[in-house]
Structure 1
């Protein structure tokens, strides 16, 4: 066949790819045997002029998924299409593979037509078969139609497991700062011998660190047969050993990226390998939307934390304190047995004489002590050097014992608290007022005895 004559009809970038076939239904060398003018110009612009018959990685980044697509296109004699996020290059690839007849023994050919763009094209993303589009739409509707995000992520994980006809599916978030992982969704097929992800989560972050090099810029990793698993064992022995120990025979793994930032991973284990292409196309688009929802979910969690947690001490802030009081007044939350107001004495002196950093350390130490001793209650930073605590189900004798423990613990860290409390009140606002007044009485007595602490 005259490949050059055939390619001359294509105005888009196009080339002929050859695949060497082995008797065991695996493949060997993959080469680009011919290219049209647009392909050759593209190669020249990249700084390596096209040489017919070169290994494909002389033209394109080495990619196991691309190899598998070429192999399947030729072996199954069916055209294939993929729209791929080349995230390492900041580009989107639109690719078409068309099988060709071959008169060369043990070698097959296909036409590879491709184009790249810096932004995603929605028309290309939605060029899907009806069943794939239906599966993606179902996941999107779930993600957008629920107020309970955690529950929704679990449901979507089960949907993906069913789509892949797999034994296990998981959505895992990674935190590089904390070097840890969080399970967002985990679904197991009924009757499977596989174990839930909770059995492996401890120390699993170290395994996730091996995945970027295995992905090597690909949109996913697909292990569909023993041949692929053997390749993985050579490339990533740590992960391969983990898979073998978890009774994994096939796996497809997708990174979850949003705004060029890795959020986590999604995978399906022991899936139906006959549907590999369908699974890949479905999950490619599903993960695109899923990553967006996860980014939104993480942002909302961050905003919620910022609105309820004091950033310096890590305990609940004044906003959360006011919300809790409103809940108690409305009857949503029971009235606590004890209300305490606690002031950290001498903070101004530490700030003035030792630095504000030293004062911050003092505040964090104080918060930690209060959290530890009032472990069965809630401790809030009311503002500045002042804290409030609500303690349920505590006797007055136990309350006084806890106050003594606070003073003893504070003394060991060279700090001092003024504390006012109220026990057994039936109106939380009146109890707060009384505890606050007693705290100020205690504080005034302290500064009368220690004028050098510069009372404010």
Structure 2
């Protein structure tokens, strides 16, 4: 929109734009054929592969090639936990400060926290020359110093936003500035699909955790235990030749619930799981149900398993300690795991009888 000027050597123009909360699919799809092809290839890799990490690595490599850049990185962020981690990195050469994954430690999040305010008012940041770098210096000295430390001269940074939540950032350094418009156009759309893919991947991970982890104690749940045993018995997973099965039944849960309520019982269960985690740090621990836990100890020597069970028995005799009844079975020839489980369970109940005969005053009502 040219505007008239009283000075023949000076002219003016006005530029207007509309800010919308949601992405405009019509505007986003109004792109060149070359850009559309690049974005489509990324989408096929993101949604057509079974290996999420591999597909992300391929897309990051494609973006680096498209930008003719030295490096392209994808960083996942968690602003609530104030943490970040490198998901993917593609580079031609490392900087003088060494591999970037060694530098992106917890302290790096202090820089990441400054990014939203620095790019506020835009959906990306592009530094094409020293003049742009000086503008960044005036806005964000901390980030400027970090980039100088990495010897970064040009940069494109896009947040990965899905449903208003920033999942991470993708950035390109030392790119082809003559191709800036195409780079912006391609990344603007590609990052939209990357953010969606990450959100979907994280959701599936959370669902998988919920289906396999006991949310109260943090150990594996009965569903995970049954699935693992089924994989062993069906041959989908090789059963180790030497393994041990341990059943541990928590004593006193009913009394804790009766006297202190379910919050006291929950606290006791959490403590019991922690005791088992510390002892069987090299094994898989499952909450089989209620107050019962099962441990699968693969390639742990029999004498070591017996030593740990004996410690549990001795510790259980003191009323100040969390108390278990335990039973185990050790297999050295790769025998039937279901037989091992039945035997360990029977021995656990025998140990419970022994415990209450020795301490009848603690017997459950």
Instruction: Tell me the TM-score normalised to structure 2 length.
Output: 0.90
In structure 2, how many angstroms separate the alpha carbons of the residues matched to 1:413 and 1:231? 64
In structure 2, how many angstroms separate the alpha carbons of the residues matched to 1:207 and 1:245? 13
Match for 2:299 among 368, 374, 393? 393
Alignment coverage as a number of residue pairs: 359
Q: Which has the higher strand share?
A: 1
1:418 aligns to 2:322 (yes or no): no
Gaps of 5+ in 1: 1-14, 17-32, 35-52, 54-101
In structure 2, do the counterparts of structure 1 residues 298 and 108 end up closer, same or farther at CA, with 3 Å as the change threshold? farther
Gaps of 5+ in 2: none
On the 8 A contact 2:73/2:171 being kept in 1, the answer is: yes
In structure 2, do the counterparts of structure 1 residues 421 and 192 end up closer, same or farther at CA, with 3 Å as the change threshold? same
RMSD: 2.4
Deviation of 1:139 (Å): 0.7
Structure number with larger C-alpha Rg: 1
Deviation of 1:209 (Å): 0.6
In structure 2, the partner of 1:232 is: 136
In structure 2, do the counterparts of structure 1 residues 179 and 116 end up closer, same or farther at CA, with 3 Å as the change threshold? closer
In structure 2, do the counterparts of structure 1 residues 104 and 187 end up closer, same or farther at CA, with 3 Å as the change threshold? farther
Equivalent positions of 1:29-428 (< 5 A) are: 104-105=8-9, 107=10, 109-110=12-13, 112=15, 114-115=17-18, 119-189=22-92, 195-202=98-105, 203-331=107-235, 332-335=237-240, 336-407=242-313, 414-424=321-331, 426-428=335-337
In structure 2, how many angstroms separate the alpha carbons of the residues matched to 1:103 and 1:323? 80
On the 8 A contact 2:269/2:291 being kept in 1, the answer is: yes
In structure 2, how many angstroms separate the alpha carbons of the residues matched to 1:252 and 1:199? 22
Q: Deviations over 1:63-109 (max 9, x none)?
A: xxxxxxxxxxxxxxxxxxxxxxxxxxxxxxxxxxxxxxx9754x554
In structure 2, how many angstroms separate the alpha carbons of the residues matched to 1:179 and 1:191? 26
Structure with higher RCO (Cα < 8 A, 6+ apart): 2
In structure 2, do the counterparts of structure 1 residues 321 and 104 end up closer, same or farther at CA, with 3 Å as the change threshold? farther
On the 8 A contact 1:337/1:392 being kept in 2, the answer is: yes
Instruction: Tell me the TM-score normalised to structure 1 length.
Output: 0.73
In structure 2, do the counterparts of structure 1 residues 447 and 108 end up closer, same or farther at CA, with 3 Å as the change threshold? farther
In structure 2, how many angstroms separate the alpha carbons of the residues matched to 1:353 and 1:392? 38
On the 8 A contact 1:369/1:409 being kept in 2, the answer is: no
